[in-house]
Amino acid sequence: MPYPVNAYPHLFSPFRLGPLELKNRVVMAPMSSSLGGTDGRVTADQIAFYQERARGGFGLIIVEFTSVDPDTGRTEAHQLSLESDRNIEGHVRLVEALHQSGTKAFIQLQHGGRFAPATFLKDGITRGPSRVYSRRDPSKLVVEAMDQALIQRLIAAFGASARRAASAGYDGIELHGAHGYLLSQFLSPISNHRDDEWGGDAKRRMAFPLAVIRAVRAEIGDLPFCYRISADEFVKGGLTIDDNEEICRHLVAAGIDILHASTGRGPEAFDKVMEPMSAPEGWRLPYARRLREATGVPVIGVGQIRTPELAERAIADEDCDLVALGRPSLTDPYWPTKAETGRPDLIRPCTTCNFCIAQENLHRVCCAENPRTGRELDAPIPADLGIGRRAVVVGAGPGGMTTALMLAEAGFETHLFETRLGLGGGIIASGTPPGKEMLLRYRDYLERQVLASRIVAHVGEPADADTILAMAPDLAVIAAGTKRRLHAIEGLRPVDISA
């Protein structure tokens, strides 16, 4: 049943940041898409990826981390870069594509520091604030300390990249000072062991980020300027929320207009950077609130915010001023529009399954629930492809239901068979253990879609070869799952979970 169109008045109210006005408070968080060129350029695939989210109603899109100096800081093979003018033109096209939908665009500037793989770097040497030796072989130096010349070069590089971003038409700049990358490496006592003007105590550890902020501000004038920070690193000996309340006051004094409150540090506390589905919804919001209260500037809240109800409450309760959606924007690019128009029930729910960050998927952004994510330029299935044709799908798990929905949308007379008395298949068992409840939201979403469609659901009806052939289908899809292989473990016995 549709919700009232104005069910989320705070979430969909305009927001002003200096000279910039956003149409709503919904932000697409910066995430690597791995769609850039190996030379750091913006590609057509990348523009289409972001443009789909702009069409979906996001008020602000923060374009993914962009290297300011790939020779010393490239973090991924397909990472964007703005170290020279050669890549500006692609960013112009990207910004223009987002502006067509009334969406504003920031870009996130980054340097990998000690987390930049040596294989991506010009001289094959990884550098950070301080030396790092291999834990496996303590005699082996794996990260060299940056010298004064390189530090000054990188301060200038951040400023120059920001100038290029502004010339490309970006509406604001974000610095990636979270998750253990270079800016946070200088801030954190875990990674900064220097004893000079760039480290040695809390004040000197702030010197590099503050210098970068001043360099960027000098280049961008009054453009909105955001700093993404891990409000708590969640690592023994690392920065805590108490530390960062004080640090953020200095960041704001140096020129920051708005904070983006993330958490965690990779790899030591990566579960706080990209939490599992068992993490409580909205668990990071108290950290956003503390930074907001400590600094008096607007704060973007992010992390395990999956529903418009929670996003609305976060803003209404003044935990944050804007809400950033990362993984949910991959699952459903039209999350904002569906919420604003009173149809949150149509939002394809992100389950935080983290398929999108699985190692084998890092070559291209993807989503376990949305096969079009990262493939927006692929032609959609024609809506009249199946007109006058019949399709049979056997098995009403998530794969079977999704297949049936796709076939119905393509015009097929679609029949879905399920032996059990309800839809869901194996995802019912997967979503039953504590901490896995988000999987059942996806099951419920698919069931709603099936019941609202023209699909004929044969629930409680087994389908064998004779059943299928009797229907004379033009297409049959077997989505009945796999057979369980029992292992010779003493005491193991089958358990009936079908009831």
Positions annotated as catalytic residues are: 181
Place of tokens 């899809």: 477
Beta strands in 34-84 (DSSP E): 60-67, 80-81
Put the strands of the sheet holding 127-128 in their side by side order. Answer: 127-128, 141-145, 132-133
Q: Identify whether the C-beta of residue 352 lies closer than 8 Å to the C-beta of residue 277.
A: yes
DSSP, collapsed to helix, strand or coil, labels residue 436 as coil
Place of tokens 């604003």: 340
Is residue 424 exposed (0-12), middle (13-18) or buried (19+ Cβ within 10 Å)? buried
Q: Which of 132, 155, 150 is nearest to 142 (CA)?
A: 132
Give me the DSSP letters along 243-288: HHHHHHHHHHHHT--EEEEE--BTTTTGGGTS--TTSPTTTTHHHH
Total residue length of the chain: 499
Q: Identify whether the C-beta of residue 110 lies closer than 8 Å to the C-beta of residue 65.
A: yes
The span from the CA of 455 to the CA of 472, in Å, is 17
The span from the CA of 141 to the CA of 180, in Å, is 19
In order of 73, 146, 158, 161, the CA distances from 149 in angstroms are: 15, 8, 15, 18
Give me the DSSP letters along 104-160: EEEEEEE--GGGS-GGGSTTS--EESS-EE-SSSTT-EEEEEP-HHHHHHHHHHHHH
Sequence-distant (≥ 6) Cβ neighbours of residue 263 within 8 angstroms: 178, 230, 231, 232, 233, 234, 272, 273, 284, 287, 303
- AA letter at 33: S
